[in-house]
Structure 1
Amino acid sequence: MHETALPTDRHLSTSQLKQRSNPSKVIKVRAAFDNASRQETALVRKLGSCLRCRGRKERCKPDILNPNGECINCALTSLSVHQIPCIRTRIPQVSLYHTVTTENDTWTIRPEIFGTEPTELSSALHTGVKILELTQDYGKPLVVRVTEFIPVDGDQTSYIWSIDGAELELPMPCYAITNIPETKAAMETYMVQNLERYIDSFIDRNDSVVWATFQIAIHRARYRNSILLQKMLRLWIASRMVEKAWHICGRETLGLSHADTAGTPYEGKIPIPPVMDSQFDQIMVRFILNPLRAQVLKILDSRITPGKRSEWFETYLVVSLLLNSITLSTAHDHKFAKLHRHVAAGRGSRFEDYNLIESYFHGAQVLIAHFRVIINGHRPLQSGSPDQIMISHEDLDDKEVRYITMIHSQLDTAISTANFLRKHNRYENIMYWTPNLFSTSWDPSPIYIKELEEGEADLIGSY
């Protein structure tokens, strides 16, 4: 007669070991997935869980027949009143700026500029290197070294525009940046030196809420040594720099004068050559903007996604500045389209790149939704008085407490303004997004671009 061998510990599952160590405790063992569940799990891993399911810590169930639509959980609750959108976009995926400039794409197709990593031009002569002082009309100049180059097919060596059907041209000397790492370092120094000048130029002091938010962000970055806000402010100014044109402001002008630009769109200024402009654009995007964006969004995601509320104040400041940057980038795209009288086929003339602007809108809604849903970030200032329970967890100094009190006192006006702007589709206005962090009437649904009615263009900035 043979006895049945008892399983040894090494043959037991984790749940069986726990049961043996504590026989009185009932251990729940998850049943094996069937094929449908496995298919669903694989789809969730591919698409990601939606915000509502993550916020409620539920298993997200995508619709197999419409995987890019609402998940089953959200569809079942769509008839009830809720403000948690079924979005799967994560914070690190948010779009904040253009990665290529439509017009600049035609100025050169060199792989040294648009390849994996911008490098010096292969046809650079490296004879008679010149030092240029450049400006965007804010603060101290940017100093860079340039050299002549031999143009190749695809290099634009002049600026071309048309007036009443007649094509006009401004020939430009063939100069390009000669030291990419040195130029990157110079641009980073320029950002630190001129941050407050850019803020002063882009933010109206009469917009007291926005202005105060930037000042308190600078205060916390500088005097509280907030690494996240230091990076965020650099990301903000870099986003402005990539949208503005550089022009020559020093004694060295590459043989050009203001007389050469008289009667052109560049009158009163000396623009940099087209290929050099493309170099600046790609150095900024590849070496400065992309790393800063990745760092800021990664840190922000690490604070919001786990539901951390202890760092509410700094999280709020970063999200506010991101929303402000999105608004300014939206306004820039509108101004660019208006200046060049561009019309997007099948869309309209309000924006240069409609897909880009729609990605901005989606990104703004993603940021607002995560702030409100995951950490209930809207609650401290939405109640009758600032939520002392949440704020008490913060290490706030007197200046920061006064700021919170001021924001709370002006919140109703700011929300009313934002509601007006949304009703009238004033996407380009600086108050369009941020008040929605706290508004009880925030609408999480997608925003579809509407064209301006005749006569509305001049009202873009007003409210």
Structure 2
Amino acid sequence: MPPSDVESDAGNMALPSDSPWGLEEMDVSMDLTSFAWPQAADDMDLLLHGLGNGSFELDGGPVFVANRITELDDEAVPSGLVAETSQQERGAEHPRAALGLVGPPGRDHIREPRALAIRPSVEETSSTSGESAWVITTPDSSENGSSVKQPSSSRRTSGEEASGVAAVTDPRLLGPCSKVWVVPKKARKKRRTANPNKPSRGGEKRPPRRRRPFQDEETRTQTALTRELRSCVRCRMLRIRCHPDMSDPDGPCLTCLALTVPIMCKLPCLRWIITDSSLYREQSRPYQLFSKRWQSMDLVDISTWASTEVKRIRLSQIYLDVPYDVEVREFEPVEGDMLEERWTSNGVTKSHRIPRYALADMERSAAVLQAFIQDNIARYICGTVGQSDELIWQTYFFAFRHAQTAKTPTERELVLNAFRFWVACRKTSNPEHIIGEDKLGGDRVDDPASVFHDRVPMPVIMIAQMECILYTRVLRPVHKKLLDQLNFLVKENKRQYWLTLYLTMFILLHSCAMVSRRDWETARQYNLQDEYANHESISKHQIGVNVMLAHFHYLNKGVLPFQLTYNAAGLRTLSKAADLDSEQVEFLKLTSRLLREPSRVAETGSVRARRDLNHDLYWVMQLYEENWVPGPTA
């Protein structure tokens, strides 16, 4: 967000009413001496019906006027133009009655809607005196019902003669010179009638515009190569042609190499697309060490049951107490089923027998897990990051509230989907145990080296079943929707979306660190030779995180938003550019203060130096780097 662009993009944005920078209020005082307030009684109607609400002085005392104008009817005549007056008990008679125009200020005289017009009297227009005379024209609702046809033949009351004002009711006298306050009729769009011979297009999107044929073979070849290599982030965001370098197709594009002027964003030429990213540990089938029954993530129930009895047990993950109930059934094991829990202690592999039970109905269990994830986001946030680094906790806490208070439905849904996805990742990465009275005959693990110490492990085959459920019903569909929503907001390239994108990417980057750490622990638990239990998936996940970081730093355009919080001028710029309210500004000020704490700065430097990809701060701290470049992955 360069400061030079702030004023043009955010010119219409209003600062919050409780702005913390002490802005002075706008001076709305006016000098009314030059507005020629009415000096004569014959100008009184002009004030009453032309200026609306007001107060003025008569001989008898002050008069307060309220004016109501309603919409025109079909004949372009005002359907109601009413002047209601109130005065003190010592006040004089109604000003219009004082002029001899209408009766006292009762409600009877407004039963019939009328329009009042004021124009100079025909008899007085040739007068040489300096005083102006006026005609009050009140057209009837009927076209044929004029009580007086000419102003000269109208009968005048004593009040009218004294004031030089005539009352006329002929609508034809409303000429171009008449001084009439008319509210124009509201324009209505013509409704498009449905054609019974054409199919309805309701809800259908306009077909995409077709590309014109290529004019030469060279352009065709370059386009084909660009589609294969993908356009770089900068060219795609600017919607310009990305010309690949034929001599070095994998290197920077010719468009980026041709840049000779200084640019705000120093981002390298990266051919990355958000929708191609991986934000979780992808698997095509359950972990085969647990069971070989499922060669895909399809929900297929076990067919080899040892009993018809269905039991209900209560489960919970080890690191937090958020229980839920599932129905299980005893099964007959087949080759490849793991029937014991294993772990490694001091280089020695140990095991513990577990009950032979599995989920009785995977579809019903899927409904339970989907509802569980939706209803327990807040508990998972508190139980997972409640005792972690303050920067992480404060960001999660604010993001959870932002999911309910963001300005647009798209932003609220994006943050909520990020939390759903985040909880599902915690479900697939952390072990669970059986709680409650019915332990299915299982025993507690007595080895302190095991993560299940003093607990009854959940049957391992149920881990494989839950992987099928969570990947099929939660992770894959939410992942696709999450990437589409992220891609949409990033391509919009609007600064008012910056805070939502920052919070979403913070959650996803921190999730990557937790998934990587848990996969590393699993490899140590089963004494695997690789660094991670699923090395290929973890590597793709970390590359996807770099894709998120590349797009985030492109949106910043070389500006570090959190550095704008150091002074009032920077806060004003940031608030206007990103359309932030006072609470959001305070959150950014808190984040900026936490980032500058010496202990956190030292810890971050140590984490980056030793390339600790599993540390909570390794990925999220890259959101705040000034000259970011993609870092190493697994």
Which amino acid is the alignment partner of residue 91 of structure 1? I
SS at match of 1:108: coil
Distance 1:381 1:134, change over 3 A: same
Q: Deviations over 1:236-256 (max 9, x none)?
A: 111111101111012111111
Tell me the CA shift for residue 180 of structure 1: 1.9
The answer (yes or no) to whether the contact 1:418–1:433 under 8 Å persists in 2 is no
Which amino acid is the alignment partner of residue 201 of structure 1? G
1:327 aligned onto 2:510: no
TM-score w.r.t. structure 2 length?
0.58
1:85 aligned onto 2:268: yes
Tell me the CA shift for residue 445 of structure 1: 3.2
Q: Provide the identity percentage.
A: 26
Which amino acid is the alignment partner of residue 301 of structure 1? N
1:376 aligned onto 2:557: yes
Aligned pairs (5 A) from 1:436-447: 436-442=622-628, 444-447=629-632
Distance 1:65 1:321, change over 3 A: same
Aligned pairs (5 A) from 1:14-93: 32-64=214-246, 67-74=249-256, 83-93=266-276
Distance 1:437 1:205, change over 3 A: same
Q: Deviations over 1:133-166 (max 9, x none)?
A: 0011323312101112222332222334566887
The answer (yes or no) to whether the contact 1:262–1:268 under 8 Å persists in 2 is yes
The CA distance in 2 between the partners of 1:170 and 1:243, in whole Å, is 20
Distance 1:38 1:108, change over 3 A: same
The CA distance in 2 between the partners of 1:142 and 1:337, in whole Å, is 28
Gaps of 5+ in 1: 1-29, 450-463
The CA distance in 2 between the partners of 1:158 and 1:55, in whole Å, is 52
Q: Deviations over 1:275-328 (max 9, x none)?
A: 111111221122111112112221111000231222111111111111111111
Tell me the CA shift for residue 126 of structure 1: 6.5
The CA distance in 1 between the partners of 2:368 and 2:582, in whole Å, is 36
1:401 aligned onto 2:577: no
The CA distance in 2 between the partners of 1:211 and 1:163, in whole Å, is 33
The answer (yes or no) to whether the contact 1:228–1:296 under 8 Å persists in 2 is yes
1:145 aligned onto 2:321: no
1:132 aligned onto 2:132: no
1:274 aligned onto 2:460: yes
Question: Which of the residues 116, 120, 127 maps onto 2:301?
Answer: 120
Query: Looking at CA atoms only, which structure, 1 or 2, has the larger radius of gyration?
Result: 2
The answer (yes or no) to whether the contact 1:133–1:141 under 8 Å persists in 2 is yes
1:179 aligned onto 2:361: yes
1:110 aligned onto 2:293: yes
Task: Identify the structure with the greater helix proportion.
Answer: 1
The answer (yes or no) to whether the contact 1:144–1:183 under 8 Å persists in 2 is yes
Which amino acid is the alignment partner of residue 262 of structure 1? D
The answer (yes or no) to whether the contact 1:94–1:363 under 8 Å persists in 2 is yes
1:285 aligned onto 2:471: yes
TM-score w.r.t. structure 1 length?
0.78
The answer (yes or no) to whether the contact 1:135–1:247 under 8 Å persists in 2 is yes
Question: Which of the residues 621, 627, 630 maps onto 1:435?
Answer: 621
SS at match of 1:426: coil
The answer (yes or no) to whether the contact 2:342–2:526 under 8 Å persists in 1 is no
1:98 aligned onto 2:281: yes
The answer (yes or no) to whether the contact 2:214–2:220 under 8 Å persists in 1 is no
SS at match of 1:42: helix
The answer (yes or no) to whether the contact 1:104–1:274 under 8 Å persists in 2 is no
Alignment root-mean-square deviation, CA: 3.2
SS at match of 1:248: strand
Q: Deviations over 1:405-435 (max 9, x none)?
A: 2113333346665444222312222222223
Distance 1:66 1:122, change over 3 A: farther
The CA distance in 1 between the partners of 2:580 and 2:420, in whole Å, is 23
Count of matched residue positions in the alignment of Structure 1 and Structure 2: 410
The CA distance in 1 between the partners of 2:279 and 2:431, in whole Å, is 19
Question: Which of the residues 381, 395, 402 maps onto 1:199?
Answer: 381
1:159 aligned onto 2:341: yes
The answer (yes or no) to whether the contact 1:380–1:391 under 8 Å persists in 2 is no
Tell me the CA shift for residue 117 of structure 1: 1.9
Tell me the CA shift for residue 64 of structure 1: 4.2
Gaps of 5+ in 2: 1-211
Which amino acid is the alignment partner of residue 370 of structure 1? H
Distance 1:336 1:430, change over 3 A: same
Tell me the CA shift for residue 167 of structure 1: 6.0
The answer (yes or no) to whether the contact 1:51–1:370 under 8 Å persists in 2 is yes
